[in-house]
Structure 1
Amino acid sequence: MSTRKLMLCSVFAVSLLCIGSKVSIAQQIDTVLLKKHIYYLADDKMKGRGTGSKEVKNAAKYVEKHFKKYGLTPKGEKGYRQAFTAKVRRVVVKDSIRTADNVIGLIDNGAPLTIVIGAHYDHLGTGHQGSSKDSLGVGKIHNGADDNASGTAALLELARYYSSNNIKEEYNLLFIAFGAEELGLVGSKYFTENPTIPLDHITAMLNMDMIGRYNPAQGVAVIGYGTSKKWPEIFNGLTPSIKYYTGHDGNGGSDQTSFYKKDIPVLFFHTGGHPDYHMPTDDADKIDYTSLKGIADLEIMIIDRIMKQQHKLDFQFTN
């Protein structure tokens, strides 16, 4: 074989290898990207992403930039954004009324039903809006790596995964990064009162809040197992790389509650409390990135099984 032909064959082989690598990366959750997102969102420069701050607006821009990059259809009220106001109630502050945004993007498969995947991207800022567990925490940056940069990072990775898997799914997927969760689930409440798609088109809502501090002894909690009679069937035979256990209730201290109150089946993924919860010490170097990938992989298994259902999931109250 001539030198020229050998060179062409080598170039062709390298090209195929590169294409194969891109496909492989697209078809799995990437721990490098999870880490990149969390280190960005939980950096000191973000000053804790307090509602109404310049930094939380930068976090919203970061989410929006990635939704655009992944080709998600804008599904806010103005582009990807759904603006609202939130009030600080726990403490007395001058700027108690603050502006906030939900950031919303859709993978539109032209399907009759939609799965909502959500996580909140705000946190406590520098402790002035209340909720800090540090008695001397006012003025200190609360980076919120676990709460909830971890959920936001997984949200972005799931958006990337489903937008690049070259499959036209049987369901639409609506990705929502909620604002002002820490002020009382304000962003998710606002969305469910002002939905940008009909609520009766939503078959289920999956929420991720604090999924970065996995405890291998107990596993990740998946709460909301009682909100549909179909969940046991969907979960049957799952073999994820991480341990999980289920909780029955649909209510809880995060954004899935707003959807449960609208008669929508929910699941809430949560790795539990820890000494850094709502403390200035909730930092990116404490996240278990391997297990975070495992939790996102578990969600893919569940989402894929939901999309095999022929009908909208039934809803049932849990209390």
Structure 2
Amino acid sequence: MMNRILALFLLTTAPLLAQEPSADRIQKHIEKLASDKMKGRGTGSRENAKAAAYIARHFRKYGLKPLGEDGFYQHFTAKVRRVVVLDSIRKAANVIGFLDNGATHTIVIGAHYDHLGTGNQGSSLAENAQGQIHNGADDNASGVAGLLELAQYYAKNNVKEPYNLLFMAFGAEELGLLGSRHFLNHPTLPLDRLNFMICMDMIGRYDPNRGVGIGGYGTADAWPDVFKGVTADIKFFTDRAGNGGSDNAAFYAKQIPVLFFHTGGHPDYHKPGDDPDKIDAKAEEEILRLEIKLIDNAMKLPKMTFTPVK
């Protein structure tokens, strides 16, 4: 009898547990997106388009609603700021999936999926950068892996949340936040319906001495209440500023509250050495568990009021 009860318990809880953030899945996403075959996911490249298709395929698998202008895709033209090659005008796209809970307001969860390609975009910090593959495992395959894990979690947790969730993989961030700025100038959902934005950029190289930084703490009156009593198996700290770092800055400029998750700089930043084998996937799993706690707390509260950070 006891064995039957245990089997029934495992059967009923397994689907829910399977949707929890997983270090194994995180590592697999990063190894796929940051392999040498992907050639650094430079904006306008075939490999960048493959990365976008990989994300769209998972959004579809999770049952998200396409909210681009072409299915999951929102196409735009990106211009390379520091021209090293002749093709300074490149095709790019955001990948946008919507979890519709029938709510009035929506939370945005985002990460950029582009990187520096083979060193021809002009922002590599390596010597003799041209021709070298910049895999961008931490920057920002780690953030995309987090985006996919959170999309799966919320789409498959069998809970109708009090807010909708908009999952966005931004293109051309490395060229100047072009993807997030394009969305904000051509929104596929009214901006006044957005509650706040969560941004993940470089969350794969956790340093226990530093902890994960969470920027944007000062961008809404409600963030102190959201963080109250929250604990994690990793070290974290907050920073009030919300107008720097990554695509969160574009949302901050539109007076939308933000949180920006980042595990800090390292010697491989914008260099060919940013490879998947240096990722701490278990720590990233814990970062995502922390994010879920914060998002869940925020969803218990009314729509936030933006506060500028002086």
Into which bin does the TM-score normalised by the smaller protein fall? over 0.9
Deviations 1:36-79 (A, max 9, x none): 10000000000000000000000000000000000000011111
SS at match of 1:100: strand
**Partner of residue 211, structure 2:** 219
SS at match of 2:166: strand
Whether 1:23 aligns to 2:7 is no
Aligned counterparts of 1:79 and 1:253: Cα–Cα separation in 2: 29
Q: Which amino acid aligns with 1:25?
A: A
Whether 1:76 aligns to 2:60 is no
Structure 1 residues 13-92: aligned runs within 5 Å: 17-26=10-19, 28-92=20-84
SS at match of 1:259: helix
Aligned counterparts of 2:307 and 2:226: Cα–Cα separation in 1: 16
**Partner of residue 291, structure 1:** 283
SS at match of 1:203: strand
Q: Which amino acid aligns with 2:14?
A: S
Aligned counterparts of 2:288 and 2:7: Cα–Cα separation in 1: 31
Whether 1:185 aligns to 2:168 is no
**Partner of residue 124, structure 1:** 116
What is the deviation of 1:253?
Answer: 2.8
Contact 2:117 2:133 in 1 (8 A): yes
Aligned counterparts of 1:77 and 1:200: Cα–Cα separation in 2: 19
More divergent stretch after superposition (241-250 vs 184-193)? 241-250
Q: Specify which of 299, 304, 309 is matched with residue 313 of structure 1.
A: 304
Q: Which has the larger radius of gyration?
A: 1
Deviations 1:206-245 (A, max 9, x none): 0000000111011100001110111111101101111111
Deviations 1:158-206 (A, max 9, x none): 0000001000000000000000000000000000001110101111000
Q: Which amino acid aligns with 2:95?
A: V
The gaps in structure 2 that reach 5 residues or longer are none
What is the deviation of 1:21?
Answer: 2.1
Aligned counterparts of 2:58 and 2:84: Cα–Cα separation in 1: 35
**TM-score with structure 2 length normalisation?**
0.97
**Alpha-carbon distance change, 13 to 224 in structure 1, aligned in 2, over 3 angstroms:** closer
**Alpha-carbon distance change, 49 to 110 in structure 1, aligned in 2, over 3 angstroms:** same
What is the deviation of 1:17?
Answer: 3.4
Q: Specify which of 250, 257, 266 is matched with residue 258 of structure 1.
A: 250
**Partner of residue 302, structure 1:** 294
Q: Which amino acid aligns with 1:270?
A: H
**Partner of residue 162, structure 2:** 170
**Partner of residue 198, structure 2:** 206
Aligned counterparts of 1:30 and 1:290: Cα–Cα separation in 2: 8
SS at match of 1:242: coil
Contact 2:212 2:263 in 1 (8 A): yes
Aligned counterparts of 1:234 and 1:31: Cα–Cα separation in 2: 25
Aligned counterparts of 2:104 and 2:299: Cα–Cα separation in 1: 12
More divergent stretch after superposition (172-181 vs 229-238)? 229-238
SS at match of 1:135: coil
**Alpha-carbon distance change, 318 to 129 in structure 1, aligned in 2, over 3 angstroms:** same
Aligned counterparts of 2:235 and 2:112: Cα–Cα separation in 1: 24
**TM-score with structure 1 length normalisation?**
0.94
What is the deviation of 1:265?
Answer: 0.3
Contact 2:66 2:96 in 1 (8 A): yes
Aligned counterparts of 2:158 and 2:287: Cα–Cα separation in 1: 22
Q: Which amino acid aligns with 1:317?
A: P
What is the deviation of 1:18?
Answer: 4.3
What is the deviation of 1:135?
Answer: 1.4
Aligned counterparts of 1:233 and 1:30: Cα–Cα separation in 2: 28
**Alpha-carbon distance change, 253 to 17 in structure 1, aligned in 2, over 3 angstroms:** closer
SS at match of 2:208: coil
Q: Which runs of structure 1 show a deviation greater than 6 angstroms over 4 or more consecutive aligned residues?
A: 9-13
More divergent stretch after superposition (14-23 vs 193-202)? 14-23
Aligned counterparts of 1:99 and 1:114: Cα–Cα separation in 2: 28
What is the deviation of 1:298?
Answer: 0.8
What is the deviation of 1:16?
Answer: 6.1
Paired positions, count: 310
Aligned counterparts of 2:232 and 2:10: Cα–Cα separation in 1: 28
